[in-house]
Amino acid sequence: MKDLNLLFKEKNLKLTPQRYAIYKYLKSTKNHPSAESIYEELKEDYPTMSLATVYKTLKTLIELNLVQELNVGEDNFRFDANVDSHPHIFCLSCGRVDDVEGVNFTFLNKEIENYTDYSVDTHQLYFYGLCPKCKERGRK
């Protein structure tokens, strides 16, 4: 994460402790947390940080293409510091969100241009089902 500093400098942005902490946390987790969750998580180490700062920072990180925004159909957004194109899967029972690893559907962007008059840049692919724990629980 040495180059973070450079990237921020280039854009005349300041790499504040808050911004660094939020990015570092997002890089470290696979939970796809909401803004609120990030706030709760960092509250302990950064007790003065406000929720507004979390939102503002996330907006900044998205503009820098360091973070992507997800919307699985909940009433809020979730955030992912893995900006490579990859599908997500949502547990209809417990609300957990995971990455689907080992697949790449980037080719779909070109493919789909045969079926529409749009030009296509990106896509989001969300699967819905039951996570291992909830499958198990349902089987009882």
Partner DNA sequence: ATGAGTGCAAAGGATTTGCATCGAC
Partner DNA sequence: GTCGATGCAAATCCTTTGCACTCAT
Contact of 64 with 11, CB cutoff 8 Å:
yes
**Rule CB under 7 A: is residue 38 a binding residue for DNA?**
no
**Rule CB under 7 A: is residue 52 a binding residue for DNA?**
yes
Number of C-beta neighbours around residue 105 at 10 A: 13
Contact of 55 with 35, CB cutoff 8 Å:
yes
Question: Are β-strands 97-99 and 88-91 bridged in parallel, bridged antiparallel, or unpaired?
Answer: antiparallel
Helix (H) or strand (E) holding 9: helix 2-10
Q: Which does 126 bind (CB under 5 to 8 A by kind): a second copy, DNA, none?
A: a second copy
Q: Is 123 annotated as a binding residue?
A: yes
Candidate residues 40, 100, 106, 137; the one interacting with a second copy per rule CB under 8 A: 100
**Rule CB under 8 A: is residue 131 a binding residue for a second copy?**
yes
Tell me whether residue 36 or residue 111 sits nearer to DNA (CB atom).
36
Tell me whether residue 34 or residue 68 sits nearer to DNA (CB atom).
34
Taking the complex as a whole, how short is the minimal distance between the CB of residue 63 and a second copy, in angstroms?
Answer: 14
Q: How far is CA 28 from CA 35, 128, 137, in A?
A: 15, 24, 28
Q: Which does 83 bind (CB under 5 to 8 A by kind): DNA, a second copy, none?
A: none
List binding-site positions for Fe cation.
123
